[in-house]
Amino acid sequence: MSYYIPLAIIFTIFSLILYITINYLNKKKYNFSNLLGNKNISIIVAHPDDELMFFFPTIKFLFDKKKKKNIFLLCLSNGNYYGYGNIREQELYKVWSYIGGEKNNCHIWNDNKIQDGWLYWDEKYIFKLIKDYCIQYDIKTICIF
């Protein structure tokens, strides 16, 4: 009979943890579902390949739930560190098209100030470029890594 009290305590603690977890996840689900409106959203990555390595589940979710015309991809460099920038650009456009993205919504910058490699990127310069990009394409939400 004495084991009923510890079992009741364990059950109560477990129930409380379960309640808190479910409540937390429901709030997160609601917050993420706010991305699904008619507003434009952009995934911003530094190099080609990042879109698949870090964002494919997010991109897939957005493509399944949102109009594709509202989903954008911005790649800050063409990945030319080893001299394959043109090839990597074409690969990125092909991947974007293959997974269902609209061709005109995939943008790759090839700016001398933000090249792939061990160079320092000026945050203020990047901020201005991204700000202008968001204004130009009416981007309301960005996802970055």
Residue 73's DSSP bridge partners are: 43, 106
Report pLDDT for 97.
Answer: 92
More confident call, 3 vs 58: 58
Model confidence over 31-87: pLDDT tens digits?
A: 555 666 778 999 999 888 777 778 888 888 888 888 889 999 999 999 888 888 899
What is the arithmetic mean of pLDDT over 1-15? 73
Report pLDDT for 30.
Answer: 56
Report whether 43 contacts 74 (CB < 8 A).
yes
CA-CA distance, 8 to 11, in Å (whole number)? 5
Separate counts of helices (H) and strands (E) for the chain: 4, 4
Report whether 68 contacts 102 (CB < 8 A).
yes
Q: Check pLDDT > 70 for residue 3.
A: no
Report pLDDT for 34.
Answer: 61
Report pLDDT for 49.
Answer: 79
Report whether 116 contacts 50 (CB < 8 A).
no
Q: Check pLDDT > 70 for residue 110.
A: yes
CA-CA distance, 105 to 56, in Å (whole number)? 16
Q: Is 87 helix (H, G, I), strand (E, B) or coil?
A: helix
Q: Is 1 helix (H, G, I), strand (E, B) or coil?
A: coil
Report pLDDT for 35.
Answer: 60
Report pLDDT for 127.
Answer: 94
Model confidence over 124-145: pLDDT tens digits?
A: 999 999 999 999 999 999 988 7
